[in-house]
């Protein structure tokens, strides 16, 4: 049965007539909900761009065998974490190789580097991977905080509303359910809003965490492949 306008207005009137503490709880939960929505939209766009640009970079990397060409082609891919890891390794490799490597930039045209040099490249790529993971995880803490705390904030509003309702029985002329119904209603509203803020946050957090784990594995796999190629052709 569809609620009437009067019933919808009574719900709003319950919210506006709630105690200041419950209203503050509802306002805080609404802030959590709006903030979570903003973070979800931002992370969705960021991670989607990271996946697409990483796929594009891997195509460029395996189709071309010229390091400067790959580096130049990867520069527009600013959202690809794998491209950032490659550029860090390539820049370190440039500093370590001499002579023909800087002139031709092809696999195997350079003079040898020592094992310590390759270890420097590995450290540079590992450092870049850590930086990219940190960038991708930015703002996920807010989703985790919302998912963990919003139900308890709503529960606090519920407990306070129930306390207020039963305390009102001492001054009420009757002890029937009608005397405590408004207080219990505002208490349940706080619980519902808390759950409404927490559920999308925990679902989005788990989804984004999985995407970041996949991207992290891709960066680690690419680093291993790049180091194998560098060891074969530059040592």
**What pLDDT is recorded for position 181?**
62
Q: How far apart are CA 150 and CA 30, in angstroms?
A: 10
Q: Output the six-digit token pair for 186.
A: 């505002």
Any idea where the domains of the chain sit in the sequence?
A: 19-234
Beta pairing partners, 106: 66
Q: Which residues of the chain have pLDDT under 50?
A: 1-9, 99-105, 107-113, 115
Q: How far apart are CA 161 and CA 183, in angstroms?
A: 5
Q: How far apart are CA 97 and CA 174, in angstroms?
A: 89
Buried b (16+ CB within 10 A) or exposed e, 175-199: eeeebbebbbbbbbbbbebbebbbe
Secondary structure of residue 189 in the 3-state scheme: helix
**190-221 pLDDT tens trace:** 888 999 999 999 999 999 999 999 999 999 99
**What pLDDT is recorded for position 135?**
95
Q: How far apart are CA 132 and CA 183, in angstroms?
A: 49
**51-87 pLDDT tens trace:** 999 999 999 999 887 888 999 999 999 999 999 999 9
3-state helix/strand/coil string of 16-48: HCCCHHHHHHHHHHHHHHHHHHHHHHHHHHHHH
**What pLDDT is recorded for position 157?**
86
Q: Calculate Rg over the CA atoms of the chain.
A: 29
């Amino acid at each position: 049965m569809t609620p009437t306008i009067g019933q919808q207005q009574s719900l709003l009137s319950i919210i506006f007539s709630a105690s200041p503490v419950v209203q503050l709880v509802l306002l805080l939960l609404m802030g959590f909900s709006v903030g979570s929505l903003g973070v979800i939209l931002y992370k969705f766009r960021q991670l989607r761009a990271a996946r697409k640009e990483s796929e594009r970079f891997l195509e460029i990397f395996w189709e071309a065998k010229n390091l400067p060409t790959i580096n130049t082609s990867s520069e527009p891919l600013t959202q690809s974490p794998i491209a950032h890891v490659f550029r860090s390794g390539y820049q370190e490799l440039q500093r370590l190789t001499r002579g023909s490597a800087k002139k031709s930039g092809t696999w195997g045209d350079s003079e040898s580097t020592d094992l310590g040099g390759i270890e420097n490249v590995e450290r540079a790529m590992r450092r870049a991977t850590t930086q990219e993971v940190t960038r991708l995880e930015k703002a996920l803490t807010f989703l985790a905080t919302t998912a963990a705390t919003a139900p308890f904030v709503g529960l606090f509003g519920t407990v306070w509303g129930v306390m207020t309702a039963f305390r009102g029985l001492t001054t009420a002329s009757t002890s029937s359910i009608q005397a405590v119904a408004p207080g219990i209603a505002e208490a349940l509203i706080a619980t519902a809003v808390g759950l409404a803020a927490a559920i999308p946050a925990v679902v989005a957090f788990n989804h984004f965490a999985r995407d970041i784990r996949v991207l992290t594995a891709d960066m680690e796999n690419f680093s291993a492949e790049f180091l194998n190629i560098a060891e074969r052709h530059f040592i």
